Structure 1
Amino acid sequence: MANQIQKYARLSIVIVFYVFVTQLSAQTGTIKGSVVDAKTNEPLIGASVLIEGTTLGAAADLDGNFEIHNIPAGTHTLVITYVAYKPEKKNGVAVTQNEETILKFALTPDEYALEEVEVVAQANRESENILLLEQKKSLVATQAVGARELSRKGIGNAEAAVTQVSGISKQEGVKNVFVRGLGDRYNATALNGFPIPSEDPEYKNINLGFFGTDIIQNISVNKAFSATNTGDAGGAVIDITSKQLFGDRALSIDVSGGINDSATNKNFLRQDGVDYFGFANSTRPTPGRYNFPNSLDPSEVKLPLNHSYGISLGNMFRLGENRNPLSFFVVATHSSDFSFTEEKVKNTTTDGTIFQDQTGDKYSRNIHQMILTNVDLELNKHHRLAYNFMLIHVNDQYVGDYYGYNSEKFQDSETYMGFYRRQQNNDNLLLTNQLNSKWKLRKGLEFNLGGSHNYVKGLEPDRRENYLSKVNETSYILTGSNRQKRFFSTLEENDFNIKSNIKYQLKNRFGNENSFIRLGYNGRFVNDDFEAVEYYFDALSGTFPIENLKLDDLYNQSNMDAGKFVMVEGDPNSYHVSKYIHSGYVDADYQLFKKLTANVGLKYDYVDMTVEHRVQHTAPGSESIVKNYFLPSVNMKYDLNDKNILRLGVSKTYTLPQSKEISPYQYVNISFVSQGDPQIKPSDNYNLDLKWEFYPSASELISLTGFYKHIKHPIARVDKGNSAGLLTYTNISDYATVAGMELEIRKNLLNVSNADHTKLNKLTAGFSASYTYSNLEVQIANTNPKNTQLEGAAPFLTNFDVSYQLQNQERVWMTSLVFNYFSKRIHTIGSRTFKDIIEEGVPTMDFVSSYKFNKHLSVKFKWMNVLNPSYKLTRKSSTTDDKVILNEFKKGQNLSLGVSYEL
């Protein structure tokens, strides 16, 4: 009986507790709404909405929306805050049980409120307005592109993003970008402030195209240098900030599909040995055996469709009595894109005589995966720990079939006509681990410490090259003289970085926090190993048709055992690089007068770089660069008034030659061979910038910049002028001069909203243009002195975009048109009596349109490369000035439709 009573008692307690909880929950309601800029109606991402006197609150998401649940019924006061905006307090907000209260807040920018940014505010740097405001407040001149702008313009990666910045362009066929006429070796790439190495031995910087916009919060471009920047840069330091969590939680799914109009109507050729995710079979054959894992014959894809999908998710936790925020955020994406180009490839002697004249069909595919993880912990609003992990895997592959005349390659054909098939894939992997910490030791004293490790593996596995010489219209023979090849190369790099500084607040007579002194140390420790081996095969006898060519029937173990051909494994070409850079610096910001603030710094770099190389048919060698650099910098900012600013920047930096540029290793491409030069020495760069900025509103800008650079011992790629088309690298002159102007305009042409900001009609435009003058006197062996421009320096660049946004409540339609143009520029500087190779000017245009049905569902249409222009490399004859087109192709138009769902 007692047990029965206890059982009923427990049941009664449960029922009472359930009724109590149910009743309690029934007495709560929800507040939801959005936070926008009062002038531009732009969503204020990460804005904080708190219920006064409680711990209840939320942060605005990517669209400025927020929701606060389980609010006790009654009347409350809301406090809305956002960095660099005036806070707002809303009294008398009524909450009714089981109902939603919908509000919209429009905050006004506070020109003087951009102080120290906490964790929630740090996540809002996707916004165009906040980036513009930070640019305005920064002492050192900088420019930035945020995720919102990238989305609006349909930009897919970091490379395309930075070309929207004035004075920056992309050279087709060359990885990475040119800044003020200075190419890859003069620039530096960072992720969250840490250096990132290259995946390709040909380049200093990692391919910016690897960084998809799914992981980018913003990209800053620093063309003016201070002591805190890397010393090895002369054009710009490009720093990619990875995405973080917005608000308390996030979950979104994106799927898209599309076509390249040139690829869809072809029986697309795809090489063997690469799986769906782009991982290549890089197994080398057993010595003396023909057991290559990959076929020589490509397969056909009937309908190549571009596609991508991705997911991002995150959550915020509150820890301990102080409710310290701990957030995690994960992004994972996969994409696959096909393209087809019809190419023309020519090469000439100095008098314009053509020795190569071929047409080619190039079938290309890019496969890409990214994983980004961010964990962020704030302690007591004074300390911060952040961990970032990133994996990027990219496979770029193509099959190229080239037909026509080549007197150097098809010497066993009476007419020098033939067929060449090249199958290449570059399988690249980057793993990055970063740990950053920020410690407020006491008021006015701050310590920052961080470290990173980058691991890069760059493979070019089983590149297949087969030459056939033409006998008659239907028959070809396999070309001799080692024209049947397979090639393997591997680059592995470990890159360790440490950075630390201590920052001490200085008092000034204005009583603000604009003055401080900072002492710091940065260390970089790089070890990389490169090895390449090539396999050569005899030409089998007989004639073969091109239309149904089956190379696997010719080159196999059976025919090798029968003595029909001999395989020779070449000696490995290799180099090992060790590079250690120790950097110490001191810099200070000080407000000299009410309107004048200065940054003065001195950086000391100790550089110890050694390249040990072993190249076929050459004795092993070793080259070292050991240098001490003292790098002063001065940056000054003068506020004419609250809308007009003058900036001055003066600095010294340097440029180290790259590992491959020092090693005499040769790399063979379709129309050229490149080889390093062990005699290269570093360049010294002297930089001067003068800039005027005018901010009509929080989202508008007009700026004009003048710049000048003096470069001692500039490094350039030159054409050595021989029949192999050999290119090399050298200190081409005693000095080079670069000068120019940059203009940037951002303007709201139409901006109309109703009283409660639920409807918006907005038209915006952006324009940038730059003119760059560069000059040097070529001083290299066997070449008469001549004046020319820097490699890749386009004299004129321009970008224009116009965007229209129509919003009604949660429904938003946005469309953008983006136009870019660069004038003709030098691709390769000619030596001996060769003229320079010129890349002709190209206009491009993209169209993007999106529609958001509600806060969850949206669609986006992209029409990229609308004009589909021809890309051309040309060179004039040394005797007649007749122009010869050395290379010409079109990339095709890309059309895609994507769907995004957010919870």
Structure 2
Amino acid sequence: MLRKIYFLFCFIVCTLPVLAGNIKGRVTDHTTREPLIGATVMLEEKGLYDITGLDGSFNIKNIAPGTYHLSISLAGYKTRVQEITVTETGMPVTDITLEPGNKKELHEVIVAGKTNKAAEGTARLIERDASQVMNVVSGQAIKLSPDLTVANVIQRVSGISVERNSNGDGQYAIMRGMDKRYNYTLVNGVKIPSPDDKYRYVPLDIFPAELLDRLEVYKALTPSMEGDAVGGAVNMVMKDAPDHLAVDANLATGYNELFFNRDFMSFNKGGINAKSPYEINGNQYNATAADFPNATADYKQQRPMPNLVGGLSVGNRYLNNRLGIILAGSLQHTYRGSNSLFFNTEKVDTFSGVTITSMQQRQYSEEQLRYGLHGKLDFRFNSRHHLEWYNAFMHLANTQVRDAVGTQLTIGGYDPENGNATLSFNTRSRITRQQIYNSTLQGDHQLLDKLQLQWAAVYSKASNRQPDNTTIPLSGIEQHFEQTRTTVGNASRSWEYNTDRDLAGYLHLVYNQPVAGVPVEWRLGGLYRDKQRTNFYNNYQFHPANLQAEYGKDFNDYTEIQWVIDNPRGSVGSALNYSATEKIKAGYLQFKIAAPRLEVTGGARVEATDQGYEMKVPIGEDRPSANQTYTDVLPSLHFRYMANDKTNIRASYFRSVNRPGFAELVPAPIVREEYSEKGNPDLKHAIADNIDVRYELFPQATEQLMAGVFFKHIKDPIEFTLQRDPRRPQDSYYMPGNFGNATNYGLELDFIKYVKQFGIKANYTYTHSSITTTKAQRVRDANGDFAIITPEQTRPLYGQSAHIGNLTLLYRNARYGWDAQLAGTYTGDRIVTVAEFIDDDQWQKGFIQMDLSMEKTFGHFSVFAKANNLLNTPMEVYIHKPRNNTDAIPYQTDSGKVLVRRDYYQRAYLLGARYKF
């Protein structure tokens, strides 16, 4: 009898799971249908619960058949209790929506819940409902990513690679294979000026990423947008005032692995002269050595302090939600650098090979102080009138020491086996301070039921300062692998400043008037911008007072070197001493037809440009000033077919332009360390016709699948190449030019998918571009003598990679408060320097960068860690020709190509804490 009871008990226990069911579902926001992550779903009668995952899903297993009450709760939302019935097979998967809590009624405005502008669902919603092709990175994704600057964030977007600075961080965006010159940058929809001394593109590494609500990338332009973008436009949407008191603070520290193995080199940056003697005493003043403090030569080597990163934002709404205020700031004080290897080659065509003349090993030490301040006030007078005042100040100070050791490979008894060589030592100390300030006052007024007025008044200013840029060279020798500094060479010190000031006004009239029962929105508007740019450059050359003085005998420190000035009044006769103006007048007419399944946006924009320069010291130049005036008509047409609520099919066409950079027109030469460059006053602006087709699927509010193709035809593209001066054929300069026509086409794929705690974001872009330019080539003529011919060569556009890919693996466990992501980026081969001679272009080798971030939340507190460049992938540059040198050269192989440059940046780590209320 007991045995029968035992077997019956075992049978019931074993069959209970079979008879039990599962409760599955998904929790979403009632208004946006965005999945709610971290909601608690509890079965009240059993006390069993689950936490919703990245896709908002939950699953409570092994529930006996019956009727229960399911409680769903999440901070900021009303708790919902729902009665459910569980059968032997469970219950069907169902969506459960939560309504936001704390709704408030104003006197004249009803606020029925506010969309979280930084959420993933909001980013997908913007992409889905946009009138043109675009991609959006949410503030939530930015916060959890390994990236600290906007430049590093933007590399995660499909079709975008970044040009990196000397410490390996991203700096400029290359969009769809179009160089940084073909893009423009917006802050809250308003274009900002550039701190660059010659061009108009904006360095994105000046912007701390944590100040953003989201990052928008426009890949097609509508008539209401400014028309000077061929690759696209980047819009940084800054943090906005929340609908309740919100405080977000973080503090972190870390270190760069590069300085585990070597010291950080610095100088006395507090003792330098902010202005040159020319500026202090006038242009007739003859400077002496006493006018130049030795702070820039006061070098110190030690291990750097740990990095420090922090941020704080506070926001709230007042006066019955009429007034919103947000204040945010970010500080990043970091120590970065690189170990770099450079090879110099002969600057002549050597037929089938490349002759390497010298090798230089460089150590960069860079102290970066980056901070951003952001404030915004918005005031609602009533439901029809709204004002916003936005202010932002961004600052990046980069204090850099470059310490280089050069080895002569073709002269001086180079003997690597016995460790003998002729050396050159070169130390450069430099401070670069870049700033961008923007103040924008905007108004939005509903004048009539069908008529709306939008306007903006903008003041912006960007500046760049490089005071007392100092380079000190020494000769040296290597004997039996021991290096020794010997005599001093000629030194230089320079001062360089520039400012770029914009005054702009925007005006938009929006009129809604149905046509044949179909809603149509008409937009009429324009802008006026007055840009004033000033540039100053002065350079002093020095030679040592004692030409025979030797290091270690006559002096032991660089501050002890006695100098004689070769040009006591400085050298201001440079193309970098100029002023420039640009006045843009633009008007547009735009319509948007919103049929039930088809949206059509189109119209035309007219932009009139008046751009000119004036050299301040036009020594020997026959064109000291010049102006270019031209008018462009820029039509565009965008179709969005909505097969259903989750699917878009887009097709668009737009025409755009690319204007020359400011210094690109100035004809005087600029002498650089490795080459000389020169402007071209006859440079024309480029005009591009752009076509896009894209399929978009949004299975859930935070998921997407997008596949698109693009095509661009560019007339008169602007590219820099090494060119011979028509007036002095013996001289070659790195100059901008127009090169007929170019084409650029490609394919983009985007994929985002979440399953419970796991997610994947992936994108891939294939790009093919083609441009034909004239190159130089040495041949033998009929007499057997050398001659130069100029054949044409077809190549990709500068900076364009054929293959770009991103893969990010996400994990989030809301129950235990864990977030993690592993992000990989691949950038394929691309041209980084266009050479004068045929087949001598320099190519950057494709590379993979891997980054990691993790965060653990404890209520309002969390701790996080970030690690960058986990694979320590080097940046390498090659010429795809064999080398002529037959002797063994370090780091060179017989692979049929010549290594020109290799940079190692090492890994960087960050550990911090965050408080959010």
Question: Could you tell me the TM-score, scaled by structure 2's length?
Answer: 0.80
Q: Structure 1 residues 267, 155: CA separation in 2 closer, same or farther (over 3 Å shift)?
A: closer
Q: Hey, what does 1:862 align to over in structure 2?
A: 866
1:801 aligns with 2:808: yes
Residues 673-752 of structure 1 correspond to what in structure 2 (within 5 A)?
673-720=676-723, 728-748=734-754, 750-751=755-756
Take 1:865 and 1:549, find their aligned partners in 2: how far apart are those partners?
38
1:671-720 residue CA offsets vs partner (Å, 9 max, x unmatched): 44433222211111010001110111111111111100000111112134
Mapped pair 1:328 → 2:335: no
Match for residue 244 of structure 2 among 245, 248, 269: 248
Shift of 1:383: 1.7
Question: What one-letter code is carried by the residue in structure 2 that aligns with 1:141?
Answer: V
Q: Quick check: 1:882 aligned with 2:882?
A: no
- Given the alignment, which residue of 745, 760, 769 partners 1:774? 769
Amino acid of the residue matched to residue 557 of structure 2?
K
Q: Distance in 1 between matches of 2:231 and 2:856?
A: 38
The 3-state SS of whatever aligns with 2:425 is strand
Decide whether aligned partners of structure 1 residues 330 and 725 sit closer, same or farther in structure 2, where only a CA change above 3 A counts. farther
CA deviation after TM superposition for structure 1 residue 121, in Å: 7.0
Aligned to 1:353: 355
Residue matched to 2:827: 822
Deviation at 1:471, TM superposition (A): 5.4
Aligned to 2:877: 873
Give, in angstroms, the shift of residue 866 of structure 1: 0.4
What is aligned with 2:334? 337
2:796 to 789, 792, 796: 789
**Residue 799 of structure 2: SS of its match in structure 1?**
coil
SS state of the match for residue 142, structure 2?
A: helix
Does 2:641 align with 1:638? yes
Q: Any unmatched runs of 5+ in structure 1?
A: 1-32, 45-63, 65-79, 93-103, 110-116, 752-761
Alpha-carbon spacing, 1:544–1:472, altered in 2? closer, same or farther (3 Å): farther
C-alpha deviation, 1:666, in angstroms: 4.7
Q: 1:135 aligns with which of 120, 127, 132?
A: 127
1:848 aligns with 2:845: no
1:455 maps to amino acid: K
SS in 2 for 1:442: coil
Aligned residues: 785
Partner of 1:405: 407
Q: Is the 8 A contact 2:323 2:378 kept in 1?
A: yes
**Residue 98 (structure 2) pairs with residue 107 (structure 1):** yes
* Residue 888 of structure 1: how far off its partner (Å): 0.7
Q: State yes or no: 1:901 paired with 2:915.
A: yes
Q: Counterpart in 2 of 1:758?
A: none
Aligned to 1:100: none
- CA 1:123 to 1:610, structure 2 compared with 1: closer, same or farther past 3 Å? farther
8 A contact 2:544–2:561 mirrored in 1: no
Q: Please tell me the residue identity of whatever aligns with 1:454.
A: S
Code of the aligned partner of 2:911: L
Q: How does 1:68-147 map to 2 (within 5 A)?
A: 106-107=97-98, 124-147=116-139
Partner-residue secondary structure (3-state), 2:834: strand
Which digits, 9 at most, give the CA deviation of each residue in 1:827-854, with x for residues without a partner? Answer: 1222234511101101001010001111
Give the partner amino acid of 1:440.
Q
Matches of 1:82 and 1:252 in 2, distance apart? 16
User: Contact 1:732 / 1:779 at 8 angstroms: preserved in 2?
Assistant: no
| CA distance, structure 2, for counterparts of residue 644 and residue 108 of structure 1 | 26
Contact 2:408/2:421 (8 A) holds in 1: no
2:760 pairs with 765, 771, 784, which one?
A: 765
Distance 1:91 1:657 in 2: 63
Asked whether the 8 Å contact 2:650–2:694 carries over to 1, the reply is yes
Residues 739-791 of structure 1 show CA distances to partners (whole Å, capped at 9, x for unaligned) of 1000000011x22xxxxxxxxxx211011000001011113676310110100
Confirm or deny that 1:447 pairs with 2:439.
Answer: no
Cα deviation 1:333-379 (Å, max 9, x = unaligned): 22111123111111212331122311111111211111111111122
Q: Deviations over 1:194-217 (max 9, x none)?
A: 111111124322211111122111
Q: Which amino acid is the alignment partner of residue 162 of structure 2?
A: K
For the 8 Å contact 1:196–1:205, the answer to whether it is kept is no
Structure 1: distance between partners of 2:733 and 2:28:
58
Once the two structures are TM-superposed, the CA of residue 430 in structure 1 deviates from its matched residue by 1.5
Distance change >3 Å, CA 655–CA 472, structure 1 → 2:
same
Q: CA contact under 8 A between 2:143 and 2:210: conserved in structure 1?
A: no
Matched, 1:812 2:817: yes
1:219-252 deviations in Å (ceiling 9; x for gaps): 1111111101111110001111111122321223
Q: What's 1:53 paired with?
A: none
Aligned counterparts, 1:587-602, within 5 A = 587-591=590-594, 593-602=595-604
What is residue 376 of structure 1 aligned with on the other side?
378
Q: Distance in 1 between matches of 2:602 and 2:901?
A: 48
Whichever residue aligns with residue 892 of structure 1, its letter is: Q
Contact 1:195/1:497 (CA < 8 Å) preserved in 2?
no
Q: Distance in 2 between matches of 1:735 and 1:81?
A: 57
CA deviations over 1:94-117 (Å, ceiling 9, x no partner): xxxxxxxxxx994399xxxxxxx9
* TM-score computed with the length of structure 1 as normaliser: 0.81
Match in the other structure for 1:313: 314
In structure 2, what is the equivalent of residue 495 of structure 1? 502
CA pair 315-43 structure 1, distance change in 2 beyond 3 A: farther
d(CA) in 2 for partners of 1:132 and 1:408? 59
Aligned to 2:236, what secondary structure does the other structure show?
A: strand
For residue 207 of structure 2, what is the aligned residue in structure 1?
211
- Greater alpha carbon shift after TM alignment, 237-246 vs 165-174: 165-174
Q: Deviations over 1:814-835 (max 9, x none)?
A: 0000000011011122223451
- Tell me how far apart the structure 2 counterparts of residues 546 and 899 of structure 1 sit (CA, whole Å): 49
> Is 1:892 the counterpart of 2:892 in the alignment?
no
1:122, distance to aligned residue in structure 2 (A): 7.1
Letter in 2 for 1:436: Q
- For residues 411 and 718 of structure 2, what CA distance do their matches in structure 1 show? 31
Give the match's secondary structure for 1:171.
strand
Kept after mapping to 2: 8 A contact 1:454/1:494? yes
Q: Is the alpha carbon distance of 1:819 and 1:442 closer, same or farther for their aligned partners in structure 2, counting shifts above 3 Å? A: same
**Match among 513, 525, 528 for residue 523 of structure 1:** 528
State the partner residue of 1:5. none
CA distance in 1, matches of 2:122, 2:75: 10
1:864 maps to amino acid: N
Take 2:111 and 2:291, find their aligned partners in 1: how far apart are those partners?
56
For residues 220 and 409 of structure 1, the distance between their equivalents in structure 2, rounded to whole angstroms, comes to: 54
For 1:98, the equivalent position in structure 2 comes to none
Residue 199, structure 1, aligned to residue 195, structure 2: yes
Would you say the 8 A contact 1:419–1:470 is kept in 2? yes
Contact 1:835–1:878 (Cα < 8 Å) also in 2 = no
| Counterpart AA for 2:829 | K
Which range moves more in the overlay, 576-585 or 418-427? 418-427
- CA distance in 2 between partners of 1:857 and 1:129 (Å): 24
Paired with 2:194 and 2:110, the residues of 1 have a C-alpha distance of 32
Counterpart-to-counterpart distance in 1, 2:142 and 2:267: 33
The CA RMSD over aligned residues, in Å, is 3.5
- Partners of 1:363 and 1:666 lie apart in 2 by 30
- Does the 8 A contact of 1:178 with 1:792 survive in 2? yes
Q: Which sections of structure 2, spanning at least 5 residues, go unmatched? A: 1-26, 40-55, 57-72, 83-94, 101-108, 414-419, 777-788, 885-894
Which amino acid counterpart does residue 292 of structure 1 have in structure 2?
F
Partner Cα distance (1:504, 1:887) in 2 = 57
8 Å contact from structure 2 (residues 613, 662) kept in 1: yes
Q: 1:600 to 1:833 in 2, by over 3 A?
A: closer
Shift of the alpha carbon at 1:310? 2.4
Q: In the aligned structure 2, how far is the partner of 1:469 from the partner of 1:308?
A: 40
CA distance in 2 between counterparts of 1:409 and 1:119 reads 78
Shift in CA distance, 374/732, structure 1 to aligned 2, threshold 3 Å: same
Specify which structure has the bigger relative contact order, considering alpha-carbon pairs within 8 angstroms and separated by 6 or more residues: 2
String of CA shifts for 1:513-569, please: whole Å, max 9, x gaps. Answer: x521000011111001001000111233224338985221113xxx65xxx988562
Q: What's 2:891 paired with? A: none
Counterpart contact for 2:355–2:883, Cα < 8 Å:
no
- The amino acid of 2:436's aligned partner reads L
Cα 1:253/1:865, change in 2 over 3 Å: same
Indicate yes or no: 2:425 matched with 1:419.
yes
For structure 1, which segment, 695-704 or 569-578, has the greater mean C-alpha deviation from structure 2 after superposition?
569-578
How far 1:622 sits from its partner (Å)? Answer: 1.4
